Amino acid sequence: MWKYLPCVLIYTVAAAALNPPVSVECSVHVPANATHGFDVIGLLNRGLMEFDLPHLNFRIQVSQYVNDTVRPGRDKQCTIVFDKFDGFGKTWRWAGGELDMQINADRFPDEKTLYITVLHELGHMYGMDHPLWGQRDTVMGYVLAATVDQLAVPVTFWPSLTRTDVRRLYEAGVDAGRIDLHVARWAYRAIRWTFPVRIYE
């Protein structure tokens, strides 16, 4: 957030009055045998920091870390689960604002490949969908492939949100009524140069 400070000071008071921030608190569940040796908490926190953008007015915050096994479901509680299931990652956005996410760290060969999935699923939690026209050089458009052993094919780069992802993130905020259109356009234009054009830059 600090690197954007010179760009955003002028609009801070007005934007906060128009669109007060909303936070969703999630509990994070990490069974001891489900991390595959990865620092899943560190990767999650790193991903949350990437989504901490000026005037986005929506934040996912971690309320507690729990060493147990749960299954995401419609229970009026936001949960982020790192545990085994039959996919790589999945997000549920329920009616009423409940959010759930599950990632199977056991199917990833390295932290880079796991991290792009963390970013991708967080993007869904923040309201983004898959792009209509592919855009596979973005976090939300990237598609994991599987090996014959059903592990994710490793990525060859350390991923990050791209300019396209950030623009679509602000657009999702506007569509949800969380941010004024003019503020979103200004905020994006002010910070877009700090993000890569493609995930593999």
Give pLDDT tens digits along the chain (201 positions).
455 545 544 444 444 445 667 788 999 999 877 788 899 999 999 999 999 999 988 899 898 888 887 888 888 889 999 988 889 999 999 988 889 999 999 999 999 999 999 999 999 999 999 987 778 899 999 999 999 888 999 998 899 999 999 999 999 999 988 899 999 999 999 999 999 999 986
| Spatial CA neighbour of 115 closest among 28, 47, 201, 199 | 47
Domain contains 82: yes
Domain contains 50: yes
Domain contains 185: yes
| Spatial CA neighbour of 60 closest among 47, 42, 71 | 47
Cα 99 to Cα 17, 141, 156, 197, distances in angstroms: 26, 21, 30, 29
Q: Hey, what are 95's tokens?
A: 């009616």
Number of domains the chain is built from = 1
Domain contains 199: no
Domain contains 113: yes
Domain contains 200: no
- List the CATH number of the domain containing 116: 3.40.390
**What does pTM read for this prediction?**
0.88
Range of the domain at 76: 2-194
Cα(176)–Cα(189) distance, integer angstroms:
20
Domain contains 201: no
| Confidence (pLDDT) at 20 | 63
Phi-psi region of 177 (alpha: psi -120 to 50; beta: other; left: phi over 0): left
